[in-house]
Homo-oligomer: A and B are copies of this chain.
Amino acid sequence: MLVVMQEGATDTQIQAVIDRMVEMGFTVHRSTGVLHTVLGGVGPVEHFEPSDFEVMDGVKESHRIVSPYKLASRHFKPGGTVIKIGNVEFGGRHVVTMAGPCSVEGEDQIERAAEIVARGGAQVIRGGAFKPRSSPYSFQGMGEIGLRLLRQAADRWGLLVISEVMDQTQIPLLLNYSDILQVGARNMQNFNLLREIGKTRKPVLVKRGIAATIEELLLSAEYVLSGGNYEVMLCERGIRTFETSTRNTMDISAIPVLKRLTHLPVIADPSHGTGKRDYVMAMARAAVAAGADGLLVEVHHDPERALSDGAQTLRPEQFQEMMTQTRAIAQAIGRTA
């Protein structure tokens, strides 16, 4: 860590900072410049908040040198993580598409969804059984019945299942039905949930919160990894900005940034990223072009009648077209899709 003292910081102030650093286990190097004294701390780990030093008297600023995450870091596994579930590999040469409705609504609907997904060439079906809705008066999901229908439809069509776990009490249930646990954007910093998932050995996809920095997303991954569950995927799905022509602003640059900082597979969700069906295809192409290892998109046989998220859900023929286009983009960069 580094602490930069203010111009005119007194010896007493500098000594107080050194004392605090030593107390925390750092070896301190002091270097005195014309205007500023800089203190460099070297230590085993750096679990501290730079701001704790910035409020000490005479301190101008403080910086952490070592990243606050370890296991999620690209340094930890430079070659990259490939997560293999059955025949499907996440993080390899093939760009995996996960698709399906926002919510499981019934047997017929999910069966039709599975057919659309499978015929389009996707390998994983998505569908929510527990729906977190901002209004208490909206449809809240089918619960376990929905999960069972989702599993059955997936099995009939040879698909894997991804579904969201809303809190730690639901983990056992989801383990029974889903191949991949999804942690939603609103739960990205539900650390109890992350810790419990870290104790399982089930692949997990962690979605970025709408106000979360990339570093915070990596720290959330670290929670799962530090429990011994190494099969973690990260998902960009839009951040909240001032722009209102899309529901969120999809941060496509997060894809190359994550590919550089971490070894974990990076997925993109253009449905939530834009919130509007008409922009999903262009953003799916952009995500693949930027290096995403997979896509997560919403498709429904009749989006106008979907019980949730209809506005961002592709029609069947749009989904087919998206698959064709993302396949062409993948090939242009030496991958398959």
A260 beta carbon closer than 8 Å to chain B: yes
Q: Are A285 and B290 in contact (CB under 8 A)?
A: yes
Could you say which residues of chain B place their CB within 8 Å of the CB of A52? Answer: 304, 310-311
Give the interface segment out of A109-117, A145-153, A276-284.
A276-284
Q: Are A286 and B252 in contact (CB under 8 A)?
A: yes
Q: Which residue of B lies closest to A55 (CB)?
A: B311
A182 beta carbon closer than 8 Å to chain B: no
Give the interface segment out of A88-96, A119-127, A171-179, A205-213.
A205-213
Q: Are A239 and B244 in contact (CB under 8 A)?
A: no
Q: A33-B65, A249-B249, A331-B332 are in contact. List 11 more A-B contacts (CB 8 A).
A: A33-B40, A33-B42, A52-B310, A134-B189, A136-B222, A167-B190, A241-B251, A244-B244, A250-B253, A253-B273, A329-B329
Could you say which residues of chain B place their CB within 8 Å of the CB of A186? Answer: 189-190
Number of residues on chain A facing chain B (CB within 8 A): 107
Q: Are B243 and A251 in contact (CB under 8 A)?
A: yes
Q: Are A256 and B282 in contact (CB under 8 A)?
A: yes
Q: Are B34 and A226 in contact (CB under 8 A)?
A: no
Chain A 271-304 against B: per-residue CB contact (8 Å), 1 yes, 0 no?
Answer: 0011111110011011111110000000000011
Some 21 contacts from A to B, beta carbons below 8 A apart, are: A20-B304, A38-B40, A47-B137, A49-B311, A51-B276, A55-B310, A61-B63, A68-B134, A132-B191, A134-B189, A167-B192, A210-B211, A214-B243, A239-B242, A240-B242, A241-B242, A241-B251, A246-B253, A249-B251, A285-B290, A289-B289
A28-51 interface with B by 8 A CB criterion: 29, 31, 33-36, 38, 40, 42, 45, 47, 49, 51
Q: Are B191 and A65 in contact (CB under 8 A)?
A: no
Copies in the complex: 4
- In this complex, which of A7, A42, A65, A277 has the most chain B Cβ atoms within 10 angstroms of its Cβ? A65
A284 to B: closest C-beta gap in Å:
9
Q: Are B257 and A214 in contact (CB under 8 A)?
A: no
Q: Are B279 and A253 in contact (CB under 8 A)?
A: yes
Q: Are B2 and A136 in contact (CB under 8 A)?
A: no
B29, B191, B242, B285: which contacts A31 (Cβ < 8 A)? B29
A333 beta carbon closer than 8 Å to chain B: yes
A166 beta carbon closer than 8 Å to chain B: yes
Complex Cα gap A35–B133 (Å)? 25
A169 beta carbon closer than 8 Å to chain B: yes
Q: Are A136 and B242 in contact (CB under 8 A)?
A: no
